[in-house]
Chain A
């Protein structure tokens, strides 16, 4: 993070004062912050900015999405794949309200975004003017910070603050609402100065050595220690520091859905995924470990299950950059405040190098049970209908864990995250906290811009695809090389699963029909194919991956398959069901 700012500082050579419009100042500021790609959609109240960007086509590439929600999701995909701030433009009123789902998603998943919305003229504020909406108040609960600019001279400082807040500390989305008069207004522009301090804002707490020492002592004396890691490791760019900590301590480590890939999925100490559809061992062992070390994760209810039966026997060490997360859901015996990029090395230096062979063997034993009773028939079924698991398994074999897997929300998401092979960080992009159906396709578009050298595969259900399929237009127009893998079970599968298990199979509005997806893709000039038979699966996946440019592959999978293991809502994690 620091390096980004230093980089930005060099760009901010003080210029001679010139008269520029607010719009030009905005674009200059974006360039100074290193922005190259903007996801957006024009409209009346943001027209001056769009007029200005007409002359900036060389420096700023603008991707015209087909719905503002998708501009936000694309920017999220971009940010998650690249580690940079995603930038969004939208107009006032409906353009701004369309962003809200994306903002909420980014807020709960700590994704750095800077969204610029146009607003009616300052003189019209509060008059119910055409396309006036109170976006500052509507977005307050779903932004880390927001600010309304009514005078052009505020733009450079507001933008600098926005970038600083979005990416520092616990990252998050920021919205700047700019009235039309401020976009047009000419003012004396003195150049762009990045922000690196706000007096009322402390992005990271100061590290307290006493807690590091206490934590190390507890880890050193632990018999059954267990590490839980989340996206904090990735957001803090602390993958190396984390790996060093895990390897020196010899402690088995399990991940939350957003922590996936912070260490490679096949690292010997990576024991799998936590939570409702996580792995058997990590869930059961949560209730038998003696020391729990939570790193950059927030004990979401999908991870903890029933809280009063969650790890009650364990002493909890919680490393987090956000003080509000400590003790929020699970009480920490030792709170290790701070950025884990700083705290992990301090901790690593104080712990003794150890192995935990018999404890690790317990995890392996659970893994074996899960493997035999469940994973094998999901990943390598010999007969019957195609399963989602085998599609992901074949994909792993072909991509060798080097592709970015963007998933939508539902059964296919759980399967993609459980089984997706990830060799490095930032290869899994999914909507974790909000569970936003329709996230997958636009986020994959953004991810491709964020990591152009990676193969990007969007794994999407037949339901979720129909929520944002208009983005095929964006893929077509900008030639975005995204592989779309629809796992079609002809149901809103995850809801159907709950209705089967908890509502006596009373299938209430989960039956969903689909258009001919391949023809649909074809009408957008996107190549496509539909697979129904096992014998064609591998060759079709190969065709998809070998296709230069985008490709849509629809795989017809079992209609009524369930995702297991499962911790039923209201149950303890150790009551996880294998069937």
Chain B
């Protein structure tokens, strides 16, 4: 039987506010264990949370970017459970009245565009970290991450397989990055996902029994986990067994999951509104103000690149993969470079080199404006394309200003009569056979001689001037013809 995969994601993203959600502690990654905390974020007896309003603004911004309805009144609730990384023994989250409702994220799949519906986005606090056997035996607790603000983005079960799950998570990451509300650093755990997976016969309308895998922290892990879980479920059904509703632990090293907790052991979190906090009120004018601050989102930017700038779809997709890449491209354009040249310099020249070197635009020692000035030198005929590639190679290692590099590297175009004439003379003197061939009618030989002349000029001659001078030397003055 052919099965269809049904999958929903709960994505947790840390918000990059300057301070934590309930206290004035710095919201920064890492630090010596238990140094970035205070009585409030470590839940000492008597300490009380006070909501950081920036967290609400950031979450509303993310919600608007994902087309959610913003609730004028939402409520923080306590999710009660015992675990040493949660020193209050409850997580302050939202339950019955979340901040953002509905919404959607559009994704591109190999089968074309798809719209993934959201259930909600809510605010909550992150927990600390447990360090197992990090210092001798036993488990130690680091509470630095306690009180780091999170949003949880809950999708409907609209994703049909591993590719879509991965594309959706990438799209969410792009949006959060564009809005500048999260660092979206998967490797630091600032974005992670819980994945629900079930399968059903193709054409069925009822959902199958789903399992959940928690805390997947890379696109690859999401893709692999969905694929492996669907296969596991399919094998169970093929063997006439049933899928058990359970939480499973995904082991990305081994590429497999194992059962952690069945439905009967499901925790009862005993949610209730947190009496230490007052309801969150967001006015229509707050929403309007935040909406006005929304940046151009990746999908909108891509559409503009294709529609207005006439960039090919594939290039537009590459240029809008991240905010940093799109901003670099636009900085190149801002130097007055033509769209086609800018695309070539960024996609063909720069991205290819970065790819080959395993680097990203974030590591570059120069900005888009410098690359734009380099492209402009080429467009103005001051540097040849080949020289410009050498200059770019140097910039990628040490940065620097293109014009100065062209000068110091001796790569400025030679356009003076003496220099051009010397190059032509050297080419003619060095290749008498080619000259004879040309004069006996071999047009091909002109190309060879042009190459020799450019070589003699060290590759720096203005190609138009050089061509004219060579033709004149071979054919006599242009005026004489006709």
Instruction: Decide whether A and B assemble into one complex.
Output: no
Interface residues of A, Cβ cutoff 8 Å to B:
none
Interface residues of B, Cβ cutoff 8 Å to A:
none
